[in-house]
Chains A and B, each alone.
Chain A
Amino acid sequence: MKKFDYYQPESLKEAYGLMEKLNGEARFIAGGTDVIVRIKQGALHPDALISLRRISALKGLGNEDGLSMGSMTLFRDIERDPAIARDYPALGEAASVLANPQVRNVATIGGNLCNAAPSADAAPPLMVLEATLTIEGPGGQREVSIEDFFRGPGETCLEHTEVVTRITIPKKRKGAGMAFLKIGRVAQDIAIANAAALIVVENGVCRKCRLSAGAVAPVPLRLKRIEGIVEGRRIEPDLLDRVAEMVQEDVSPITDVRSTAQYRKTVSGILVQRAIKEALDRAG
């Protein structure tokens, strides 16, 4: 394996200072379950890694006026958090099926997003929950909607010197139902496809619909065109069939070792359909 230096700053300020000193030849590292693998595979060649694990400002999980998670929150902790299970079950479910226990014990939600895999399991639930990411760098702080964060496979809107510090989710709307679904070859697999839905229903009519599909395009998708079709209507079998067809039109998957593009297309429509049904069952 390539040799690299490894720094463990205790504050963001120290981390930015190190990044500047190393002239951009360094990379930030969170849990390492993607970065270390990519270094071992020869896909990344950093001279140095700057670990974010000791920075206390990036930790902590709070659920008061909405959910606020430090970017270094472990999937293990999201999976076990009772408030997340109650108010944001789609997020808890995604956390509980990401990879395997050993990975969830070190992998972080911020790391999953910054790795920017189209299949990132944290992305669809955060999309339907309309999460905001707080991004900080030596130049200051900015906020970006999760929808605008991803730019392509492995690419985000982050500058090399910036880190995601927090992920915030607005307070759960009363009566909202939500679900996350994933299909893989085996339990610990990277998703062939995943999907999330959030539904609010009043008097039998859908008042709010948020849909997201992953692993079927260069970035995790928000399916706005389809949301617009569902909102204002009763969610009935005909509408759900139309949704599945529209998902197939809106995705652009690839064929790889896990699945053919055609299967991804079909299964993505079915997953979104099922996620809506499950969210509907939980709404109200």
Chain B
Amino acid sequence: MKKLIRFTLNGHEVSAEVESHRMLLEVLRNTFHLTGTKEGCGQGECGACTVLVDGLSVDSCLYPAFEVEGKSVTTIEGLVEEGSRLHPIQEAFVEHGGIQCGFCTPGMIMSTKALLDENPHPTDDEIKRGISGNLCRCTGYVQIVESIRKAAEKY
């Protein structure tokens, strides 16, 4: 089964013919070549594939592509501001070493965006709960939490 789906991707109206068994992650990476969103476990445990759908963080590896019809999707590529400036969350991660190998980073940053959009001044405990669906195999969590704390100061 195939269908033409229309949705908003990083602020632009897009459409794509998609097979019914595809997940949003595959459409983002293979159809739109937005490879910032990563596939880690493919089972909703690691959060490397986190994107925002209508502002809420979701694991795109478990999100049926047909369900995105009419919705607004934001990926890590969509955070870059005018003039190719990094988003303040991205800047904070760079400045405070919230990145080791970098594979979990796009997901961590999207979860951070969802967290700070709802709660701009989280406690450390709220930060940890906010990224509880994102795993860092390098275990660089101390710097990640610090980066989020610093990002919150500028939010």
Contacts and interface: CB of A to CB of B under 8 A. Distances in A.
Contacts of B130: 101
Nearest to A1: B21
Nearest to A41: B43
Interface stretch (A102-110, A168-176, A247-255): A102-110
B19 interface: yes
A1 B21 CA distance: 8
Contacts of B47: 100, 102
Interface string B122-134: 0000001110111
A105 B56 contact: yes
Nearest to A104: B133
Interface in A174-197: 186-188
Contacts of A49: 64
B128 A51 contact: no
Q: What DSSP secondary structure best describes chain A's contact surface?
A: loop
Contacts of B111: 101-102
Interface string A2-41: 1111101000000000000000000001001100110011
B1 interface: yes
A93 to B, nearest CB: 13
Most chain B beta carbons < 10 A, residue from A6, A41, A99, A186: A6
B36 interface: no
- Using C-beta atoms within 8 Å of the partner chain, give the interface range for chain B: 20 to 34
Interface residues of A, number: 28
A6 B57 contact: no
Contacts of B58: 102, 105-106
Contacts of A3: 19-21
A4 B1 CA distance: 8
Nearest to B129: A187
A188 B56 CA distance: 18
Contact of A102 (B21, B23, B67, B133): B133
A117 to B, nearest CB: 14
B42 to A, nearest CB: 6
B44 A103 contact: yes
A188 B133 contact: yes
Most chain A beta carbons < 10 A, residue from B47, B50, B62, B111: B62
Interface in B64-85: 64, 66-67
Contacts of B59: 33, 102-103, 106
A32 B59 CA distance: 11
B45 interface: yes
B133 A32 contact: no
Contact of B1 (A6, A40, A105): A6
B114 interface: yes
A103 B49 CA distance: 12
Contact of B133 (A6, A51, A101): A101
Contacts of A51: 64, 66-67
Contacts of B114: 101
A105 B19 CA distance: 24
A268 to B, nearest CB: 24
B42 A2 contact: no
B7 interface: no
23 contacts: A3-B20, A5-B1, A6-B20, A6-B21, A8-B66, A8-B67, A40-B42, A40-B43, A99-B44, A100-B132, A100-B133, A101-B57, A101-B111, A101-B114, A101-B115, A101-B132, A101-B133, A102-B58, A103-B133, A105-B56, A187-B132, A188-B132, A188-B133
Interface of A: 1-6, 8, 29, 32-33, 36-37, 40-41, 49, 51, 53, 76, 99-103, 105-106, 186-188
Given A76-B56, A101-B129, A102-B50, 18 more contacts: A1-B21, A6-B64, A8-B67, A33-B59, A33-B62, A36-B64, A37-B43, A51-B67, A53-B67, A99-B133, A101-B57, A101-B115, A101-B130, A106-B58, A186-B132, A187-B128, A188-B45, A188-B132
**What are the 8 closest A-B residue pairs judged by CB atoms, nearest first?**
A100-B133, A6-B20, A187-B132, A5-B1, A105-B56, A102-B133, A3-B21, A102-B59
